[in-house]
Amino acid sequence: MNVNFDYFNRLTTDMLCQVALSGVSGIQVAPYANIGDVNNKGIELNVNYRNKLNDLKYSVGFNIGSVRNEVKKVGRGEDAYISSATFRALGDLARTEAGHPIASYYGFVTDGIYQSQAEIDSLNLLAQIATGNNRAFFDAGAQPGDIRMKDINNDSLINQDDMTYIGNPHPKFTYGLNLDLEYKMFDLRIFGQGVYGNDIFMATIYYLESGDGYWNLLTTVNDYWEKEGDKTNMPRLGQSQGNLRVSDRYIKNGSFFRLKNIQVGYTIPQSFTNRYGIARFRIYLAGQNLVTFRNYKGFDPEIGFGRNQGVSPNQRGTLDIGIDRGNYPVAKSWSIGLNLSF
């Protein structure tokens, strides 16, 4: 048996980031500067065991790793942050700010469904009392059946001040498993890997649960709100931009385990192959990405970093993580092959 364990704690300083500028600066493209510090700490464990039982040779390997990253500084002010990862009319989906993981999802927290106009009117009255404005609204444009957002700062108004961190694209740990078996002339090799504890921002909900009749929809829309008292998290059908705001409605469990490779082989005995000058002749059948265990309802939970999204580098790469924009899923495949040695 072989066991390796590593612990690391690294502080990366002077990362190159775009400087956040006020809209009145007149500068269209913000300059870059070495203004970012990030701390990464975690563990890695690798265990491998090899043995033989009569004609059966086998080896088992397992690895697991956990990384926690925290932004220490991004910009020159205490409240500086970088917004990133846009999608259609949703705007920015993620934020990188001191005290939080890189590219964490940022938006509203849902708080059920507005059940009646009376409920909305009572909330509007509280907003008018709090502001001293008899035309104030708790959540402008809200109708029965719309998603209610949580009033984070308790000011009786729903606005950008109620947005907060709603998800983390980084897994709590990643892991892998490999198994090799050899029995006489047969062999079997299996490799799988997975992640646990990460969130996915399912941006495709913007279309697939819109309920406006212009797109193919998920079956979850069948549970839409119709009348007062309906117990559901799915809003009414119809066009309501308030229901499509960036919120934890889009946040989904991204944990999965995938059987990445499986290969079954047979090696023809040398007593036969030596007659033809062949030292080794092996035939195999291999499959890739055959099975995935997950709760995620999108096409594929293995998303990774964004690519070619927007013009600014802040809208792709390391600041665009786990955003499902309808990414094409990895393909399942089968192949047959030969290994020849002369």
Query: Whole-model pTM?
Result: 0.89
Looking from the CA of 189 toward its CB, the CA atoms found within 13 Å total 10
For residue 50 the two structure tokens come to 């090899």
Residue 317's pLDDT is 64
Looking at residue 109, its amino acid is V
Cα 25 to chain centroid, rounded = 34
Q: Would you call 259 helix, strand, or coil by DSSP? A: strand
Size of the chain, expressed as the number of residues it contains? 342
Residue 5 in this model has a pLDDT that exceeds 90: yes
For residue 56 the two structure tokens come to 């059966």
Residue 21's pLDDT is 62
Q: What percent of the chain has pLDDT over 70?
A: 92
What whole-number distance in Å separates Cα of residue 96 and Cα of residue 105? 9
- Tell the residue number behind the tokens 């059908």, with chain if given: 237
Residue 133's pLDDT is 95
Residue 260 in this model has a pLDDT that exceeds 50: yes
Please tell me the least confidently modeled range out of 49-63, 68-82, 142-156: 68-82
Residue 304's pLDDT is 80
Centre a 10 Å sphere on the Cβ of residue 154 and count the other Cβ atoms it contains. Answer: 9
- H/E stretch holding 323: strand 323-324
Residue 25's pLDDT is 58
- H/E stretch holding 206: helix 205-208
Residue 310's pLDDT is 43
Contact call for residues 67 and 101 (beta carbons, < 8 A): no
* Mean pLDDT of the region 264-282: 87
* Mean pLDDT of the region 323-340: 91
Residue 342's pLDDT is 82
Question: Any idea what DSSP says for residue 160?
Answer: G
Mean pLDDT, the chain, integer:
90
Cα 117 to chain centroid, rounded = 36
CA torsion sign for 234, 238, 239, 240 is: negative
- Tell the residue number behind the tokens 């590219």, with chain if given: 103
Question: How many helices, marked H, and strands, marked E, lie in the chain?
Answer: 3, 19
Residue 22's pLDDT is 59
Residue 308 in this model has a pLDDT that exceeds 50: no
CA torsion sign for 215, 306, 240, 168 is: positive
What whole-number distance in Å separates Cα of residue 256 and Cα of residue 195? 6
What pLDDT band is residue 28 in, cutting at 50, 70 and 90?
Answer: low
- H/E stretch holding 273: helix 270-273
Residue 312's pLDDT is 47
Question: Any idea what DSSP says for residue 331?
Answer: P
* Mean pLDDT of the region 49-74: 95
pLDDT digits (tens, 9 = 90+) for 221-248: 999 999 999 999 999 988 778 899 999 9
Residue 78's pLDDT is 72
Residue 32 in this model has a pLDDT that exceeds 80: no
What pLDDT band is residue 309 in, cutting at 50, 70 and 90?
Answer: very low
What whole-number distance in Å separates Cα of residue 219 and Cα of residue 116? 25
* Mean pLDDT of the region 171-183: 97
Residue 276's pLDDT is 79
Terminal C-alpha separation, the chain: 34
